[in-house]
Amino acid sequence: MPDEINRVFLLPGEYMVSKQPYIISTLLGSCVSVCLYHPQHRCGGMNHYMLPHGPSGENSGKYGEYAIGVLLQFMERTCGGFGGVEGMIIGGASVVREIGRGENIGEKNIALAREMLKQRNIKVTKEQVGGDVGLKLHYQNWDNKLVVEPMSRAAMSGSMLVKAESARHQAASPSASHTAAASGKAIKVLIVDDSAIVRNLLAKAMAGEPDITVVGQAKDAFEAREMLLELGPDVMTLDVIMPKMDGVTFLKKVMVYHPLPVIICSTIAKKGSQTEVRSDKIGAVDVIDKESLNLYSGLDTVKNILIPKIRAAARTSVHKKSKEEVSSI
pLDDT digits (tens, 9 = 90+) for 53-67: 888 777 889 899 999
Strands (E), the chain: 6-9, 15-18, 22-28, 32-38, 43-47, 86-91, 123-129, 135-140, 145-150, 177-178, 187-192, 212-218, 235-238, 262-266, 286-289, 318-319
What's the rounded mean pLDDT across residues 171-178? 41
Domain 177-327 has CATH 3.40.50.2300: yes
The region of weakest confidence among 137-146, 198-207, 222-231, 303-312 is: 222-231
**Could you give the angle at the alpha carbon of 185 between the alpha carbons of 183 and 186, nearest 5°?**
140
What's the rounded mean pLDDT across residues 20-33? 91
Global confidence as pTM: 0.62
The region of weakest confidence among 53-67, 151-165, 207-221, 251-265 is: 151-165
The region of weakest confidence among 68-72, 146-150, 177-181 is: 177-181
Whole-number mean pLDDT of the chain? 85
CATH topology of 6-159 equal to that of 177-327?
A: no
- For 283-319, b/e burial (b = at least 16 CB within 10 A) is bbbbbbbbeebebeeebeebbebbbebbeebbebebe
% of the chain exceeding 90 in pLDDT:
56
Q: 6-159 maps to which CATH number? A: 3.30.1330.200
217-251 pLDDT tens trace: 999 998 888 788 778 899 999 999 998 899 999 99
Q: What are the extents of the domains in the chain?
A: 6-159, 177-327
98-153 pLDDT tens trace: 555 546 788 999 999 999 999 999 999 999 999 878 889 999 999 999 999 987 54
